[in-house]
Amino acid sequence: MRPLIGMTCSTHAGTRVLGYRLNQSYARAIAAAGGTPVLLPTLQDREVLRALFDSLDGLLLPGGTDIQPSIFGSEPHPSLDEVDPPLDEAELLLARWALSEEKPVLGICRGHQVLNVAAGGTLYQDIDSEIPGALVHRVEQRSAMAHPIRVEADSRTADVFGATELSVNSMHHQALREVAPGFLVSARAPDTVIEAIERPDHPFALSVQFHPEELVPGHEASERLLLAFVGEAASRSARGATAPSRA
């Protein structure tokens, strides 16, 4: 059976009603990797959110808006973009549950940052003004190769990618600053921006700053990453792994 992969939706203020939004590329990429994508509304009802989480075999934290800086103990930077408080609240809960209960979790772009903040890390709020000599990390063309990254050879990330050097796309202006306890930096861009982290004591807790969902098919490292994540979720499902409800 295909594992159920939950993906959070951001809050979307339409012209008449509030809605939820998620780029279709995430669902397509997870389906292509063998998973069943499940779109998660960012409800502030903890009991309902918990029930949704318990039904999942894996959690994908996607890209999106900036994270409220107060969450990681900072004042807003002048270049802070739009924030989404309901999304922050829901994703931080989901990420912490996934980490504490060993449910496979993959963070992408904003999700990379959420996973780090959820575990106690911090962020640069604006790369251009806070990291001297930084590369251009905000490239509008979603499938364009923006820069190379170097992957730690002895990391799980390298095993997953099947490579220690690769080119990636890039669509962000924030980045990891202090890495959360328990996580290791497993990839960096040439300007030292952290491009991947992993938690060695977890079955699958890994995040990347680039967008693999926009590069498949055809980008081997992205394909391998999504297959590894969905595969771990499938293994968990086959084992019948469950966790006690903490609603």
Q: Which residues are catalytic?
A: 109, 211, 213
Q: How far is CA 65 from CA 21, 74, 106, 217, in A?
A: 12, 17, 17, 26
Q: Phi and psi (nearest 5°) for 106?
A: -125, 125
Q: Phi and psi (nearest 5°) for 235?
A: -65, -40
DSSP assigned state of 13: E
Judging by DSSP bridges, how do beta strands 10-13 and 194-198 pair with one another?
unpaired
Strand (E) or helix (H) holding 237: helix 220-239
Closest CA to 107 of 85, 86, 123: 123
- For residue 227, the SS3 value is helix
CB 31 within 8 A of CB 7: no
Looking from the CA of 217 toward its CB, the CA atoms found within 13 Å total 3
How many angstroms separate the CA atoms of 213 and 36, rounded?
A: 15
Closest CA to 121 of 68, 183, 77: 183
